[in-house]
Amino acid sequence: MPSFKINVLGCGSALPTSHHLPSAQIVEVRGKLILLDCGEGVQLQLRNRHLNLMRISHIFITHAHGDHCFGLPGLLSTFSLLGRKTPLHIFAPATLQPFFDCIFRDFCYGIQYEVTFTPLDSEQRQSIFECQSFRVTSLPLRHRVPCCGYLIEEQPSLPHIIPEMIAAYDIPHWAISNIKAGADWTSADGSVIAHEQLTRPADPPCRYAYCTDTLPNPELPAWIEGVDMLYHEATYADADMSKAVLVGHSTARQAAAIARDANAGRLLIGHFSARYSDESILLREAQEIFPATDLAFEGQEVALRV
């Protein structure tokens, strides 16, 4: 079964600090790279992490604040300079369209790859993309500007063949894909062996939710019920709750409550305010509600399945 990995490229908030970069993550699903948000410096981060930026097929931007999209112009230009030919798909709230149009009109003349920009209605939870490997649902968030979270789900995979059974029944290689797809096996003497006997159940598909920037959204847990991991913004500690409400952000404790209510496998918190030089306060407050919480950090790689 192929891996499903999250690479954190940046988990700071709007004000850059010496220890955090603006928002960006790479999700690796069955060999494809998905970019979530694109803060300034993403292409350098990709290079430093030895992630091949040419393998990025889809970009999902949460909202039109600079710390989530100012790396886009540089990345799109670099794709062009590197001679990219494969199509690129960008999804974002419709409010990002003018910025996108400006980049393309003024800086991307002569590009040789096709780019589709899909403007999203950030008020609607909707299935926005599906391919053989994964599907993506947009999640309405509650920020100062239109903002979408994203639920990324692997497509169900086929069951595993049990090699010992295949050998025992002397089943030829050509029959295996049929059996994995659900066909029973009829042997030379006419006896039928049910495919369930020849296979083990498929691994459950990995599911990952990326939710930033937002006030706590009480609808969110139902939408992401049982995800393997939730990344949720936790810009502030409890003591700064009034500030959080004012600027449309969550506290670490609120992020943890969302993870608990969603029965998430684990929680990764990020989008830390620059006011915390030590984020352990955020971790402690979140873990009081949801113990399986970790702090995000630049360079972090989390494998939901190795």
Binding mask 287-306 for a copy of itself (x = CB under 8 A): --------------------
Q: Which of 1, 32, 55, 77 binds a copy of itself (CB under 8 A)?
A: 77
In the complex with a copy of itself, the residue whose CB is nearer, 67 or 233, is 67
- Give residue 226's Cα distance to chain centre: 15
Question: Which one is catalytic: 37, 67, 213, 228?
Answer: 67
DSSP the chain: ---EEEEEEE-B-SS--SS---SEEEEEETTEEEEE---TTHHHHHHHTT--GGGEEEEE--BSSHHHHTTHHHHHHHHHHTT--S-EEEEEEGGGHHHHHHHHHHH-TT--S-EEEEEE-TTS-EEEEE-SSEEEEEEE--SSS-BEEEEEEEPP-PPEE-HHHHHHTT--GGGHHHHHTT--EE-TTS-EE-HHHHEEPPPPPPEEEEE-S-S--TTHHHHTTT-SEEEEE--B-GGGHHHHHHHT--BHHHHHHHHHHTT-SEEEEE-B-TT-S-THHHHHHHHHH-SSEEE--TT-EEEEE-
Q: Which of 71, 140, 159, 216 binds a copy of itself (CB under 8 A)?
A: 71
Q: Is there a catalytic annotation at residue 67?
A: yes
Please give the residues from 39 up to 68 whose contact with a copy of itself meets the rule CB under 8 A.
40-41, 43-44, 47-48, 64-67
| 226 conformational bin, left if phi > 0, alpha if psi -120 to 50, beta if neither | left
Q: Which of 9, 11, 21, 209 binds a copy of itself (CB under 8 A)?
A: 21
Q: How far is the CB of 69 from a copy of itself (least distance, A)?
A: 9
Part of the chain binding a copy of itself (CB under 8 A), chosen from 16-24, 123-131, 183-191, 283-291: 16-24
In the complex with a copy of itself, the residue whose CB is nearer, 106 or 170, is 106
Please give the residues from 78 up to 117 whose contact with a copy of itself meets the rule CB under 8 A.
78, 81-82, 95, 98-99, 102, 105-107
Part of the chain binding a copy of itself (CB under 8 A), chosen from 74-82, 117-125, 128-136, 149-157: 74-82
Say how many residues touch a copy of itself, by CB under 8 A: 32
In the complex with a copy of itself, the residue whose CB is nearer, 22 or 221, is 22
Part of the chain binding a copy of itself (CB under 8 A), chosen from 11-19, 160-168, 195-203, 294-302: 11-19
Q: How far is the CB of 44 from a copy of itself (least distance, A)?
A: 6
| Closest-CA residue to 229 (of 140, 303, 123, 122) | 303
Q: Does 119 bind a copy of itself (CB under 8 A)?
A: no
Residues in the chain: 306
In the complex with a copy of itself, the residue whose CB is nearer, 41 or 159, is 41
Cα angle 71-278-221, degrees, rounded to a multiple of 5:
65
Q: Are 33 and 57 in contact (CB under 8 A)?
A: yes
In the complex with a copy of itself, the residue whose CB is nearer, 88 or 166, is 88
Q: Does 202 bind a copy of itself (CB under 8 A)?
A: no
Active site residues: 67
Residues contributing to the site for a copy of itself (CB under 8 A): 14-18, 21-22, 40-41, 43-44, 47-48, 64-67, 70-71, 73-74, 77-78, 81-82, 95, 98-99, 102, 105-107
